[in-house]
Amino acid sequence: MATMTMRGRRVVAGLLVLGLLGGAFFVVSAIGGDDDPAPGDKAAGAIEVDDRIFETNDPVERGCALALELLKRIERGTVPEHTEDLLFVPQAPNYVGTFGIRSHSGPFDYLQTIPLVFYGPERIVAQGEALDKAASITDVYPTVGQLTDVDLPERKGKVLEDTLKPDVPGVPKLILTVVWDGVGRNMLERWPDDWPNLARMERKGTSYLGATVGSSPSITPATHSSLGTGAFPKDHDVTAITMRFGEEIRDAFAGRVASDLKLTTFGDEVDLAYNNESLVGMLAWKSWHLGMLGHGSMTPGGDQDLLGIIGHDENITGNPEYYATPEYLTPFPGLTERLEELDRADGEIDEQWMGHDIELHENPAWVNYLGDVLLATMDREGFGADDVPDLLMTNFKMTDIVGHQYSMDSPEEPVVLRAQDAQLGRLIDYLDAEVKDYVVIVTADHGHTPSTERSGAWPIAKGALVADLNRFLGVDEDASPVINTSAVGMFFDPDLLSATGKTLDEVATWMNDYRLEDNWDEELPAGYEDRADEQVMAAVFPTDALPEIMACSRLG
């Protein structure tokens, strides 16, 4: 069994807003529909279908057959009142998506293993090479507490003692946390020559090769919240992008409010410990990143921390109810120049980058613009200017967008990765010159999914899956009980499901037998012809069956 508007002059034309899996929306090229033709694929043909057909479709038995570590990650990421009603784990390397658009939510090592690098000449041990040790994204929280000399509430994370030079007096003036979105260890290994600044920080700081996000789904709101709180979703409550709240299903952190996050962050706690004298802030791209920052003035006794969310132009905004956004960020000039600079770089002024509209968020111009904003904000706000420890967080989103749109194996990915690394070097140069006593933490929120050409994965088209499920249930689309499908599960309307006469257990049993040929209406693409009988899922089970599955797995 398997274990498992540029320049403000015009509206973007010729584009579609495609919903990425799990409810994430970006402006992307018009690619990646359910009916995309697959490329001819030696990797697909190399997968042995006989190893991917199960003897049972029973949900508990299939779940119990998953590797215990995968189940632990799923359990840590599950909150029954918020999580999908039905959970599924594709047979690796399959994923829910299309040949054109990939998802990255799951318990597998290649999605879970991330860089975790601490660097600071005054306070962080220079190991000479990365440590072959386990760590978790939750370990950032208590380690920041140790660095700032704040007794944080105890959580799941542990202090990474290897990182800290002994007997260094005082506290750092600034701790900068940088998330390279989607840049798991698998992406760094895929493009080993395109991150020289991070590689230097690994040698001259402390880095953990065995670091993981530790929970599934491995998705931005959940993992940023784990970083900020030192706990997993089962404790901090933010499980995914799309969550259930009573009878409502909506995105986490809607309205740029952090009330969905049940626990305080290290930003909340350090600020309180220093009587709100610490500068605490975040510059990022989505409200999904708020779990890294914290609650702002929503925290009893707290103040309005700095928040800047970059959108599709130079107007960087926040939420004035709980956070402060400096006036000079709205607008912050320079994006136009960065886009024009990139446009000219290939010798043609055609508003294109590598064949893509230059206004899309996936190119180096947006990376460089974020670097400009970060440096200006640190300088103008005085981050690291006194002996009270300041905290600044940021997210470089572009590597993740490229991974979704073109894949981590695409020629676009190393270009954007190099740009992010260059901005990291630029930040270090500033800190060396202006702050001196600082710590930089670089990590990621998840890995990314290799191209089907390399992995042989079958992209499970969720539109076809839902349509086939409706036929099994004997209902048309208007009466479908399926409310929402993510990369890891489905939300159901219980009344509509009851009206079909079927149960979640019966749905899971049916889906466990769902075959590759069922998910494709035409002749199977080249490379997949001999895999028609392959069951696309390793396990599908009702969420409320997870405790029984965990007990079964632990008994062996």
pLDDT along the chain (556 residues), means of 10: 29 29 32 41 80 96 98 99 98 96 96 99 98 98 99 98 97 99 98 99 99 98 99 99 96 98 99 99 97 98 98 96 98 96 88 85 94 99 98 98 96 98 99 99 98 96 98 98 98 98 99 98 93 97 98 90
Residue 155 identity (one-letter amino acid): R
Pairing of strands 489-492, 86-90: antiparallel
Residues 6+ away with beta carbon under 8 Å from 203: 126, 127, 128, 129
Cα 242 to its chain centre, rounded Å, is 13
Q: In this predicted structure, what is the pLDDT of residue 32?
A: 35
Residue labelled with tokens 């390397």: 93
User: Quick one: angle between helices 220-229 and 266-273, nearest 10?
Assistant: 30
Q: In this predicted structure, what is the pLDDT of residue 556?
A: 74
DSSP string covering 347-382, please?
Answer: T--SSEETTEETTSTTSHHHHHHHHHHHHHHHHHHT
Q: In this predicted structure, what is the pLDDT of residue 35?
A: 39
Residue (of 435, 428, 431) closest to 387 by Cα position: 435
Produce one character per residue of 26-62: b if its CB has 16 or more CB atoms within 10 Å, e if not: bbbbeebebeeebeebebbeebeeeebebeebbbbbb
Q: In this predicted structure, what is the pLDDT of residue 244?
A: 98
Write the pLDDT tens digit of every residue in 433-459. 999 999 999 999 999 999 999 999 999
Q: In this predicted structure, what is the pLDDT of residue 2?
A: 35
Residue 444 identity (one-letter amino acid): A
Using CA atoms, how far residue 124 sits from 145, 176, 211, 475, in Å, is: 14, 13, 17, 60
244, 104 contact by CB (below 8 A): no
Quick one: tokens of 322? 């709980």
Q: What pTM does this model have?
A: 0.92
CA distance 327 to 291: 24
Cα 365 to its chain centre, rounded Å, is 21
Quick one: tokens of 226? 């784990």
Residues 6+ away with beta carbon under 8 Å from 433: none
CA angle 180, 337, 344 (to 5 degrees): 90
CA distance 27 to 15: 7
Helix/strand/coil (H/E/C) assignment for every residue in 46-101 = HCCHHHHCCCCCCHHHHHHCCCHHHHHHHHHCCCCCCCCCEEEEECCCCEECCCCC
Return phi, psi of residue 532, to 5°.
-55, -35
Domains of the chain, CATH where assigned: 6-103+453-555 (no CATH), 114-326+387-414+421-448 (3.40.720.10)
Residue 128 identity (one-letter amino acid): G
Q: In this predicted structure, what is the pLDDT of residue 358?
A: 83
Burial of 501 (0-12, 13-18, 19+ CB in 10 A): exposed
Q: In this predicted structure, what is the pLDDT of residue 41?
A: 57
Residue labelled with tokens 């689309």: 477
CA dihedral 28, 33, 36, 39 (to 10 degrees): 50
Q: In this predicted structure, what is the pLDDT of residue 408?
A: 98
